[in-house]
Amino acid sequence: MGREDSHYRPDGGSAHGTGRSGSGSAKGRVPVPEAHLPRAPEAPAPAPETVPERPPPLPWRPPTGSASPAPNTGHFPVAGSEQPVSGPPRGSATVPVSPAPLSPSFGPGPTGPGGVPPVGPPISALPAPADAAPAPAPAAPRRRRRLPVVLAAVLLLVLASIGVVITRPGPVAGWLGDDAGSGPNAVGVTPEPAPSDVLGGPDSNAPVPTPDGVRAVLDPLVGVAVLGDRVNVSVADVITGQTLFAKGADDGTVPASVTKLATAVTVLAARGPGYRIPTRVVAGAKAGEVVIVGGGDPTLAINKKGYYPGAARLDDLAAQVRTALGGTPPTSIVVDGSVYSGPVYGPGWDDDIPTGGSGGAVTALMTDGARTDPGVEHGSAPRFAEPDLAAGKAFARLLGVPTDAVKRGTAPPQAAAGASPVPGTELGVVQSPPLIRLVDVMISESDNLVAEALARQVALARGQPASFDGGAAAMDAEVAELGLPAEEISVSDGSGLSRLNRISPSLLTDLVRLAASPDHPELAGVFGGLPVGGWSGTLNERYRTAAGTAAGAGSVRAKTGTLTGVHSIAGLVTTADGRLLTFAVLTDKVPGDRDTAQPALDRIAAALAGCGCG
Nearest to 264 by CA among 537, 24, 501, 515: 515
Q: Are 173 and 74 in contact (CB under 8 A)?
A: no
Q: Are 51 and 246 in contact (CB under 8 A)?
A: yes
Distance CA 8, CA 567 (A): 9
Q: Are 158 and 121 in contact (CB under 8 A)?
A: yes
Distance CA 88, CA 519 (A): 12
How crowded is residue 560: how many other Cβ atoms within 10 Å of its Cβ? 29
- By DSSP bridging, strand 289-293 and strand 332-336 are parallel
Distance CA 553, CA 534 (A): 5
324 — phi, psi (to 5°)?
A: -65, -35
> Does 196 participate in catalysis according to the annotation?
no
Q: Find the catalytic residue in 204, 234, 247, 260.
A: 260
> Does 257 participate in catalysis according to the annotation?
yes
Q: Find the catalytic residue in 444, 446, 492, 498.
A: 446
Helices (H), 127-171: none
Q: Give Cβ neighbours of residue 474 (< 8 Å, ≥ 6 apart).
A: 266, 270, 455, 458, 459, 461, 462, 464
> Does 380 participate in catalysis according to the annotation?
no
Q: Are 569 and 563 in contact (CB under 8 A)?
A: no
Stretch (H or E) spanning 293: strand 289-293
Dihedral angle over CA of 90, 92, 95, 97, nearest 10: 10
Q: Are 494 and 452 in contact (CB under 8 A)?
A: yes
DSSP structural state of residue 172: H
Q: Find the catalytic residue in 23, 257, 495, 536.
A: 257
Distance CA 51, CA 142 (A): 9
Q: Calculate ∠ Cα 584-587-592, nearest 5°.
A: 135
* CB-side neighbour CA atoms (13 Å) of 506: 25
What residues act catalytically?
Answer: 257, 260, 446
